[in-house]
Amino acid sequence: MRRLVAGVVVAAAIAVGCGGGGSGSAASFCSDAEALKARFDKLDEGDLSYDTFVQIDNELKKLTPPEAIKADYNKLVDAFDQLVDAMEPLKDVDFSDPSAIDPDLLSDPEVTAAFEKLQTITADDSFTTASDNVDKYLQDECNIDIGS
């Protein structure tokens, strides 16, 4: 999940810097990316609710990436959209407290299929490559290390 969240951080950071159909200035892009990184670090620390992912997904879809990484960004947005779809059967699960998850829920075929889809999305080589490329862009252009 850390890798997926890292990819989301990268995608969202790029998106914030490039909203409204055009590219933002390098300074404002980097500033926005750094601020957004801190926000998504909190997500990575435990707020993995379905509603949070839906909100992020909607935000990502509204924004336009810079040309230099447009294909990679679009791949990350697509992967995140698939993630949200896969999480829909899990929308009532509180991931912040794994001990509270009903063990019977984990044997539900719909939930099992959702977990399998999540694993497939995050293990996809093209997702990993896109995430790495966008991560490199942030590091090289903004001196921001999103971690992995």
Amino acid occupying residue 67: E
pLDDT at 20: 41
The pLDDT, as a whole number, for residue 15 is 42
Per-residue pLDDT at 14 = 43
Q: What is the pLDDT of residue 129?
A: 92
Which letter does DSSP use for residue 25 in this model? P
Residue 44 token pair = 């990575």
Question: What does each of the 148 residues of the chain score in pLDDT, given as a tens digit?
Answer: 444 554 454 444 444 444 444 454 556 566 666 766 765 676 777 777 788 888 777 777 766 667 777 788 789 889 888 888 888 888 887 777 778 788 888 788 888 888 888 888 888 898 889 989 878 877 888 788 876 5
- The residue among 30, 29, 38 whose CA lies nearest residue 9 is 38
Amino acid in the structure at residue 17: G
pLDDT value for 28: 59
DSSP calls for the chain: -HHHHHHHHHHHHHHHHT-TTSPPPHHHHHHHHHHHHHHHHHHHTT---HHHHHHHHHHHHH----GGGHHHHHHHHHHHHHHHHHHGGGTT--TT-GGGS-TTGGG-HHHHHHHHHHHHHHH-HHHHHHHHHHHHHHHHHH------
